A = this chain, B = another copy of it.
Amino acid sequence: MRRWNGWGDDTINAELNSDALAFLRQQIGATEAPQDASLEAALAQVAQQPSRLPPHPLVSSAPEHRLQASFGQSMGDWLRLRFGRIGRVSDGVAWPESSAQVRELLDWAAAVGAIVIPCGGATSVVGHLSPPEDGGRPVLTLMLSHLRKLLQLDTVSQLATFQAGVAGPDLEAQLRAQGWMLGHYPQSFEYATLGGWIVTRSSGQQSARYGRIEAMFAGGRLETPTGTLEIPTFPASAAGPDLREWVLGSEGRLGVLTEASVRVQRLPACERFVGVFLPGWAEGEAAARELAQARLGLSMLRLSNPIETLTTLRLAGHAKAIAWLERYLALRGCAAGDKVLLMMGLTGSKAQVAAMQAQARAILKRHGGISTGTLLGAKWQANRFRGVYLRNALWAQGYAVDTMETAVDWPRVPATMAAIEAAGREALAALGERCHAYTHLSHVYAQGSSVYSTFVFRIGPDFERAWARWQALKGAVSQAIVASGGTISHQHGVGKDHAPYLAHEKGARGMQGLQALVAHFDPQGVMASGNLLPPQPR
């Protein structure tokens, strides 16, 4: 069963080995986990907020449903659940089975003055599911998980049309049964949904081959408060603005995506992941950039900075094997404290994989790369959706983990990375706490790169201190991102947590345009969740 106050399935437990724990204690100090609030206590708080929605046959106001529908996976969500500070929750929850039921519920919400929040896999890390702060109107959450059917598979055009609430593993299983795949693998893959990916502009781990979700999304059906927007599929078009772009990144402010056609692939003949060490950050960044700009067709390219490389090796356990590896690397010129780990995915036909491997090897060699073959790559692959479970294990030891990310053009990468890590460390230092911050480039482009930083810090003994630490960290890092000229998100989306920073990149004129588009599709503010933009006046 899915955890109500943490990540993932409660039968899956990530282990934090003793070396890793010792490493963290050395970095940021020893601590203990605070006492978790009980589910019963949380439900009791929900029960104290009577639903403000009138009854509807499709809508449940059971406290467990309202609780489940109101939280994603942002640090704010975690803190509120773990410390039992539930706050405002959704007033009712529905699981529509069709576009027609979504329409019916939108119309009903408009009639009763409710705000609608669509929910895919509830994996948002930026606060998408919290009811808006002002709280004057009832909130109806549409859980889209029953919209999971494969409606059509056109193998000639390599297009699959799904109901948009289908979750990653279910989607891939339905395709794989017929020899096909989509290839969108964000870390939240286990629960995240196709529609959620589209409306938040998601990026999967192998987007270098398969494309970001923008490149996969070929058409669909958006139920807006003022009618249905049907977007047909074309391989390309010059017929004015592309309406798919209204859906991408709309974060539930224009309507509910109920169907989506996506570009699918045959299963590849060959796939491997290779880990390569380079002597330092400068060499690693230069190699990653050259690999991206050489258009080799790699399916993945990630580069950990020295602290992340060190942390990855420490958290991996197997102290003896790692010590052996480090001796080997030192002999070959990769010193312990400076070395960086580059992980690359090679996917395609046998001939394609062989060709890209040969070209990649030549580039990496020039930058002093030392390959470990698939030794670390296979490990990465096996754990690609399990790493996120470590969040539970760390919490149990008293440590909070948050991640923040951006993307910048190449010349800005090193300074942005440094500014983000420093901002996190300084924000917590001002509260007398240490922060273990490390970074990788998770998605590497010819033009630049994403910069993805992880922050581990002590949760704190009570809600107030924990909240203050997280708010200080989140605010300082977000400021550092926009001050560095980065986008406020490369892959997590905007939600409520990033909304205050959006104007830095869209500008006043852009923000007004976005408001105008929202006001046009949703003049009554039915979708006024507060995600992306401040709620529309009603």
Partner of A408 from B235, B446, B487 at Cβ < 8 Å: B235
CB–CB A229/B509 < 8 A: yes
CB–CB B502/A240 < 8 A: yes
Interface string of A174-208 (1 = CB under 8 A from B): 00000000000000000000000000111100000
A116 interfacial contact with B, CB 8 Å: no
Interface range on chain A (Cβ under 8 Å from partner):
35 or more
CB–CB B513/A520 < 8 A: yes
A338 interfacial contact with B, CB 8 Å: no
A467 interfacial contact with B, CB 8 Å: no
A374 interfacial contact with B, CB 8 Å: no
A243 interfacial contact with B, CB 8 Å: yes
Interface string of A260-297 (1 = CB under 8 A from B): 00010010000000000000000000000100011101
CB–CB A446/B492 < 8 A: no
CB–CB B532/A235 < 8 A: no
**Inter-chain contacts of A321 with B (CB < 8 A):** none
CB–CB B445/A235 < 8 A: yes
CB–CB A490/B237 < 8 A: yes
Q: In whole angstroms, what is the CA distance A459 to B4 when docked?
A: 74
CB–CB A218/B510 < 8 A: no
CB–CB B236/A240 < 8 A: no
Contact A489/B239 with A232-B505, A355-B351, A410-B157 known, Cβ cut-off 8 Å: yes
**Inter-chain contacts of A489 with B (CB < 8 A):** 237-239
Partner of A513 from B156, B229, B487, B508 at Cβ < 8 Å: B229
Interface string of A216-232 (1 = CB under 8 A from B): 00100000101111111
Identify the A interface with B (CB < 8 A): 154, 156-159, 200-203, 212, 214, 218, 224, 226-243, 245-246, 248-251, 263, 266, 289, 293-295, 297, 348-349, 351-352, 355, 358-359, 407-411, 443, 445-450, 485-494, 498, 502, 505-510, 512-514, 516-517, 520-521, 532
* A201-B239, A294-B349 known, 6 other contacts, Cβ within 8 Å: A235-B450, A239-B488, A239-B502, A263-B446, A351-B359, A516-B520
